[in-house]
Amino acid sequence: MKPAVFDYSAPESIGEALDLLAEHGSGAKVLAGGQSLVPMLNFRLARPAHLIDVNGVGSLSYISANGALRIGAMTRLTALGESGDVAGAHPVIPAAVAQIGHRAIRNRGTIGGSLAHNDPAAELPAVLMALDAEVTARSADGERVIGMQDLIEDRLFDTTLDDTELLTEIRIPAAAGSSFGFREFARRHGDFALAGVAAVITTDGSTITQAALGAFGGTHATRLPTAEAALVGAEAGDAAFAAAGAGAAADFPATSDVHGTAEYRSHLINVLTVRALKDAAGQAGGGNG
């Protein structure tokens, strides 16, 4: 199929892009990597009157590791996954990026596009939730900073960004001393995940002092507060991880479709949470198998 007719603009600066968004509002769509939007255009699931292509806005592509990790919204997924600065600050990110589609998709896809599209099976919204990330959104009227959970809420293929706002930067606070685990299940590598978990924990000896878990593959990306509560103050080991897995299954907004039932996805989240936590505990030097 071919997309419906639309007007096209290719701004070369953030200011130009913001002016176009202010002018066209809800009638416009921003084109970043296009790995999700272009198929939606072709199937006419999206019918914008105006397409604003920000690939020419070079100032939106960067990675800065001076203190907090700052990532421009147009940073390609390949660059994100291969950055030594990202791996050194938050190795859970390249672990997740490696599971996104195939290299050709990662070469074009962008971190900002993934967040703005907010596919419930996408890895990065959940990973960035677990890392307590924030995003910067700009419009012709100014700028605001939005926490990842506030950006995503319980939305599907949508965010709390205003029609005139452009996501410009992702900021991830430093997490010195933390360890991570990342697990997902897909029927084949490169397929959309049926379920997945990112775990970030901090330990003092064998005691877990902080825990953050982000899950995806349900109705929307989400934190897992019951599982996190089961971990904090507990000894890193099988008993705590089993309790967290059960809590994760209870928290997870599972859904049924042709690929699996809600019950199956809840079971997967339980199992994947335990495995991700064992991975994290292994890095921290804790756990008992």
Within-domain flag for 1 = no
Domain boundary at 152, 172, 192, which? 172
The single-letter code of the amino acid at 213 is L
User: Which carries the bigger pLDDT value, residue 70 or residue 2?
Assistant: 70
Assign residue 231 the CATH number of its domain.
3.30.390.50
Asked whether residue 166 falls in the same domain as residue 64, the answer is yes
Domain boundary at 142, 172, 202, which? 172
With pLDDT > 90 as the criterion, what percentage of the chain qualifies?
93
pLDDT at 1: 75
**Quick one: 66 exposed, middle or buried, by C-beta within 10 A (0-12, 13-18, 19+)?**
exposed
- Residue 287: band (very low, low, confident or very high) from pLDDT cuts 50, 70, 90: very low
Asked whether residue 215 falls in the same domain as residue 270, the answer is yes
Nearest to 237 by CA among 186, 214, 264, 203: 203
Within-domain flag for 250 = yes
Nearest to 182 by CA among 265, 67, 72, 100: 100
Within-domain flag for 2 = no
Q: Are 54 and 74 in contact (CB under 8 A)?
A: yes
Domain span holding position 28 = 7-53
In tens, the pLDDT along 237-279 reads 999 999 999 999 999 999 999 999 999 999 999 999 999 999 9
pLDDT at 22: 98
Opening angle at CA 260, ends 254 and 265, nearest 5: 35
pLDDT at 288: 39
Asked whether residue 159 falls in the same domain as residue 79, the answer is yes
Query: Over 80: is that where the pLDDT of 159 sits?
Result: yes
Task: Provide DSSP, 137-175.
Answer: EEETTEEEEEEHHHHHTT-SS--S--TT-EEEEEEE---
Query: Over 60: is that where the pLDDT of 161 sits?
Result: yes
Within-domain flag for 259 = yes
Asked whether residue 30 falls in the same domain as residue 99, the answer is no
Asked whether residue 25 falls in the same domain as residue 68, the answer is no
Asked whether residue 69 falls in the same domain as residue 25, the answer is no
Asked whether residue 195 falls in the same domain as residue 124, the answer is no
> What SS3 state is found at 69?
strand
Strand order, beta sheet including 28-31: 7-9, 50-53, 28-31
| Termini Cα distance of the chain | 52
Stretch (H or E) spanning 51: strand 50-53
Q: Which residue has the tokens 């995503």?
A: 152
Within-domain flag for 189 = yes
Stretch (H or E) spanning 267: helix 262-284
Nearest to 269 by CA among 240, 283, 249, 242: 249
Asked whether residue 145 falls in the same domain as residue 228, the answer is no
Q: Which residue has the tokens 């959104």?
A: 137
Within-domain flag for 40 = yes
- Residue 285: band (very low, low, confident or very high) from pLDDT cuts 50, 70, 90: low
d(CA 99, CA 85): 19
Structure tokens at 57: 């806005």
CB-side neighbour CA atoms (13 Å) of 102: 4
Structure tokens at 264: 């199956």
Within-domain flag for 145 = yes
Asked whether residue 156 falls in the same domain as residue 69, the answer is yes
In tens, the pLDDT along 184-211 reads 999 998 899 999 999 999 999 999 999 9
Domain boundary at 121, 143, 172, which? 172
Structure tokens at 165: 């706002």
In tens, the pLDDT along 130-146 reads 999 999 999 999 999 99
Give the chain's domain count: 3
Give the Cβ contact number of residue 264 at 10 Å. Answer: 15
Asked whether residue 236 falls in the same domain as residue 162, the answer is no
Rg (CA), the chain: 19
Overall residue count recorded for the chain in this entry: 289
In tens, the pLDDT along 76-123 reads 999 999 999 999 999 999 999 999 999 999 999 999 999 999 999 999
Within-domain flag for 289 = no
Query: Over 70: is that where the pLDDT of 289 sits?
Result: no
